[in-house]
């Protein structure tokens, strides 16, 4: 148990690494650990040990445990964003844009599986008290905003798209729709974790059918008659 075994590296004695490399490695280990065992079941010492360094290094790079989690989320979301953006780029037809985006999204979830489960529900986000802004520490607040930024990124990916295809709708409405889509996708992604038989394409299709045609269409078969 005391055997630390320098984790990732082979057999060489603990080597020093550049900050950038160490950072990536820490994120890899942390993401995996959080995903497998849950956020609060993992201690900073655990992560440090797996990385092959000691705790203060984690704090040097990420400021706090929340900071580390947030950094994981930010990276993961950034990648997700890039994937979906790239997937949608190839389409011209609005429906096709939507379809490709959905498919890319659920395929991404497919790979990152559990990581997504933990990362999706970021804890805290602390709704500060209305009077008096209480900031626990410096770093977390900053990173918390960073994650909020990546979220806005998602909204800003979808909202303008809607505005392009439907210029009639006022801006707030487009934003609301973007939130709706994101929320629905996140939930459906979580749902899929409990239903392994549902493929990514199935999920995308459900989302597509619902969002594109609407409930009216679905209910129509009964009502229209």
Judged by the rule CB under 7 A, the positions of this chain that interact with DNA are 14-19, 22, 40, 42-45, 52-57, 59-60, 63-66, 136-137, 140
Pure H helices in the chain: 19-37, 44-51, 55-62, 65-89, 94-120, 138-165, 171-193, 200-208, 214-223
Q: Does 17 bind a second copy (CB under 8 A)?
A: no
- Of 72, 81, 147, 136, the C-alpha closest to 108 is 81
Query: Tokens 């998602």 appear where?
Result: 154
Partner touching 44 among DNA, a second copy, none, CB below 5 to 8 Å by kind = DNA
Q: Does 29 bind a second copy (CB under 8 A)?
A: no
Cβ-based nearer residue to a second copy, 90 or 172:
172
Reported residue count of the chain is 225
Q: Does 187 bind a second copy (CB under 8 A)?
A: yes
- Separation between Cα atoms, residue 134 and residue 196, nearest integer Å: 43
Q: Which residues bind a second copy (CB under 8 A)?
A: 35-41, 94-95, 98, 114, 117-118, 121-127, 129, 134, 136, 162, 165-169, 172-173, 175-177, 179-188, 190-191, 193, 195, 198, 203, 206-207, 209-219, 221-223
């Amino acid at each position: 148990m005391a055997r630390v075994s320098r984790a990732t590296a082979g057999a060489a004695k603990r080597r020093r690494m550049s900050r950038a490399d160490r950072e990536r490695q820490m994120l890899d280990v942390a993401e995996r650990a959080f995903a497998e065992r849950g956020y609060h079941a993992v201690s900073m010492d655990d992560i440090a040990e797996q990385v092959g360094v000691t705790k203060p290094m984690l704090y040097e790079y990420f400021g706090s445990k929340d900071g580390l989690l947030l950094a994981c989320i930010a990276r993961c979301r950034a990648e997700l964003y890039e994937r979906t953006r790239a997937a949608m780029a190839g389409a011209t037809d609005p429906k096709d844009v939507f379809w490709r985006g959905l498919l890319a999204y659920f395929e991404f979830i497919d790979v990152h599986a559990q990581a997504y489960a933990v990362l999706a529900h970021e804890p805290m986000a602390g709704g500060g008290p209305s009077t008096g802004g209480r900031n626990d520490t410096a770093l977390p607040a900053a990173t918390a905003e960073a994650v909020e930024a990546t979220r806005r990124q998602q909204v800003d990916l979808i909202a303008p798209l809607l505005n392009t295809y439907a210029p009639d709708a006022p801006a707030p409405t487009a934003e609301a729709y973007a939130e709706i889509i994101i929320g629905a996708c996140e939930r459906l992604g979580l749902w899929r974790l409990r239903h392994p038989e549902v493929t990514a394409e199935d999920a995308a299709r459900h989302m597509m059918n619902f969002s594109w045609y609407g409930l009216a269409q679905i209910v129509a078969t009964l009502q229209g008659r």
